[in-house]
Amino acid sequence: MEKLLYQLFGVPLVSEIKLPLLKAVETFDSEVEPIVVQFSEDSFQLREVLHAKPFTQFSETEFIYCVPSQIEFYVRDGKEIWVNHQGSSLEDNLLYFFSNALPAAFFQRNLFLFHASGVVVEGKVVLFLAPSRTGKSSLALQLQQMGYPVFTDDNVLLTVENGQCMARAGYPSMKAWDQTLKEIEGADQLETFALHTQTDKKGLFIPVDISQKVLPVQQIVFLKEEGSDLVFRPISSMEIMQKLIENTYRVAWIQPMRKGAAQFKFVSEIVPLLKGFEAIRSKNKKTFKEFAAGIISEIFTNP
């Protein structure tokens, strides 16, 4: 079977499965050991179970995610992802590959993803961290319309290189609701593509020359919705640390997978390298243009 080559967060993937959110590459520019993705007709069973819920079982080195009668994933040692597909639409079920199987493989490698979007500001990245449905993607899209290219959407991988905190983008695409595209001036003219049948969100490609870069982090901004006013304030190292831990992708898996010590060690390494802010907007008002303008004037100009 033909193998496709991809690269995600700087990690190579060798896959028997076409992964529609990614763009295939001809070769890797990385010496990192790849994750191999392959089909299987077998049912999976863990050697040791540390955590079990209706759809998920895992240990420190193994992970199973099962959607009954549709698809099942088995992830081992951060090196292999086996896929047993029984449902009607493989492309729709790959949603669970990106949201569950891949994050598990990264955890098994002691690599931590964060809930984040980000834009490029003068060759560096400003990241926006917040839980789902807080407006990370909408803000990034608004800033792109104001001249700041989107670097990543939904997730980011942070590393420390030569004493700097560096950001690696994930998917060369972003997601936006139809309503968001209508509300942000000019966004409804952007080229979009269908993601899958289970969502009304549209996909927008991020240029590969941006999404494949590794860029230094200029600032990290934690978004919040409350009150009726726009608020922008610098935050302490202790607040940055707490909010990074809270915004780790799949944070509920950390302790059951015995990754708490590794997460704490990594976050402790990057916090002294970061300048952090909190940006607050009203939850009940459509204020993204005003919010983005405030971020430009209050945060981007304060590197």
Res 5 pLDDT > 70: yes
With vertex at residue 212, the alpha carbon angle to CA 209 and CA 216, rounded to the nearest 5 degrees, is 105
Crossing angle between the packed helical segments 288-295 and 136-145, to the nearest 10 degrees: 70
Give residue-wise pLDDT tens across range 210-241: 767 899 999 999 999 998 889 999 999 999 99
Give residue-wise pLDDT tens across range 199-212: 667 778 777 667 67
Give residue-wise pLDDT tens across range 11-31: 999 999 999 878 888 887 778
CA–CA separation, 52 and 68 (whole Å):
15
Residue 239's Cβ-count burial label (10 Å; 0-12, 13-18, 19+) is: middle
292: amino acid identity, one letter? A
CB of 8 closer than 8 Å to CB of 22: yes
Edge-to-edge, what's the strand order for the sheet holding 11-15? Answer: 4-8, 11-15, 35-39, 80-85, 71-76, 62-67, 56-58, 51-52
The pair of three-digit structure tokens given for residue 98, joined into one six-digit string: 């990106």
The pair of three-digit structure tokens given for residue 61, joined into one six-digit string: 């080195």
Q: What is the pLDDT of residue 209?
A: 67
Q: Which of 68, 86, 108 is the last residue of a domain?
A: 108
CB of 174 closer than 8 Å to CB of 137: yes
- What residue numbers bound the domain in which 32 lies? 4-108
Give residue-wise pLDDT tens across range 130-171: 988 888 989 999 999 999 999 998 899 999 999 999 999 877
CB of 119 closer than 8 Å to CB of 149: yes
102 and 136 belong to one structural domain: no
Q: Which of 78, 108, 138 is the last residue of a domain?
A: 108
Q: Which of 108, 140, 167 is the last residue of a domain?
A: 108
164: amino acid identity, one letter? Q
Helices (H), the chain: 90-96, 102-108, 136-145, 178-183, 208-211, 237-246, 260-270, 288-295
**CATH number, domain at 187?**
3.40.50
> Which CA distances in Å does 34 have to 90, 139, 144, 161, 211?
23, 33, 32, 20, 19
11 and 85 belong to one structural domain: yes
* Nearest one of 75, 232, 95, 240 to 158, comparing CA atoms: 240
237 and 257 belong to one structural domain: yes
Query: In this predicted model, which residue has the larger pLDDT, 196 or 93?
Result: 93
CA–CA separation, 80 and 240 (whole Å):
33
127 and 98 belong to one structural domain: no
28 and 132 belong to one structural domain: no
Name residue, tokens 């607040």. 239
The pTM assigned to this predicted structure is 0.91
> Which CA distances in Å does 13 have to 55, 90, 167, 194, 205?
25, 18, 19, 23, 20
CB of 50 closer than 8 Å to CB of 128: no
Domain count, the chain: 2
Calculate the CA 92 to chain-centre distance. 19
